[in-house]
């Protein structure tokens, strides 16, 4: 049996997800990137781009908002999951006055229900083998809230509670559970923000810049490493001082 551990990154083909896949691969993990089935047309190009940079990742489709889809995803993998990074997420922003139930449900199911849907499939195996790392990618807005994001902020805050509770279940069995809460991060999505709005955002950050996807990925790499074996139930904020607790 191979000694190489397997990591699964949900939302692994997104901006932050890709950086996490690369960071974990550099640690010697076999990395599997999850993607939504609706993104299938883009996966070959994504894999080719990663290969051109020296990275080869397995990919697996699943709608993480569906428990059954997650079950099928885990059953399809060739090896048990030793490291799980719950990174999949969406936004459907609107003020409470304008938010409809479909916007609420979509974000809660994709951002919060997904954490249960995927973790449930792998956690028992981790405890039985006496080793596991779970890292949940939350958000600074799950700590401080954000106008127009009651759905997103609620889901990300829920991830913190999930993290602390599950950490207690895994602590004596070699399984750590932590979260990372990014602040404003430079991605393809934030690059589309008009410059004047982007400058106003950056002005609120004490470090006067956005974070990089690599900075988020490095935090995940630390929490999944042997160096963090005594770290569990914690949230690591990567936000340039935007929120301090």
Could you say which DSSP state residue 236 is in? E
Which of the following is catalytic: 152, 184, 222, 230?
Answer: 152
Q: Contact, 191 vs 212, CB < 8 A?
A: no
131 catalytic per annotation: no
Interhelix angle 67-76/114-129, nearest 10 degrees? 40
Strands 6-10 and 30-35: parallel
What is the Cα–Cα distance from 39 to 83, expressed in whole angstroms? Answer: 23
Say which residues have a Cβ less than 8 Å from residue 100's Cβ, sequence separation at least 6: 94
Catalytic residues: 152
């Amino acid at each position: 049996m191979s000694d190489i551990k397997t990591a699964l990154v949900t939302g692994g083909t997104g901006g932050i997800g890709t950086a996490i896949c690369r960071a974990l691969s550099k640690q010697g993990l076999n990395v599997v990137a999850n993607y939504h089935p609706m993104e299938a047309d883009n996966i070959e190009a994504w894999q080719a781009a990663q290969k051109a940079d020296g990275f080869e990742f397995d990919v697996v489709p699943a709608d993480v908002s569906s428990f059954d889809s997650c079950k099928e995803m885990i059953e399809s993998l060739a090896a048990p999951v030793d490291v799980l990074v719950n990174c999949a997420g969406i936004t459907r922003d609107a003020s409470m006055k304008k938010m409809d139930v479909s916007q609420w449900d979509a974000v809660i199911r994709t951002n919060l229900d997904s954490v249960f849907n995927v973790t449930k499939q792998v956690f028992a195996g981790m405890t039985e083998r006496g080793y596991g790392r779970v890292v949940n990618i939350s958000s600074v807005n799950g700590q401080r809230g954000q106008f127009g994001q009651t759905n997103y902020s609620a889901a990300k805050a829920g991830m913190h509670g999930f993290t602390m509770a599950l950490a207690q279940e895994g602590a004596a069995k070699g399984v750590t559970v932590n979260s990372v809460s990014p602040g404003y991060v430079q991605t393809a999505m934030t690059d589309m923000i008009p410059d004047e709005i982007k400058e106003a955002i950056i002005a609120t950050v004490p470090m006067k810049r956005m974070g990089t996807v690599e900075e988020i990925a490095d935090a995940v790499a630390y929490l999944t490493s042997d160096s963090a074996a005594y770290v569990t139930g914690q949230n690591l904020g990567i936000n340039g001082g935007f929120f301090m607790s």
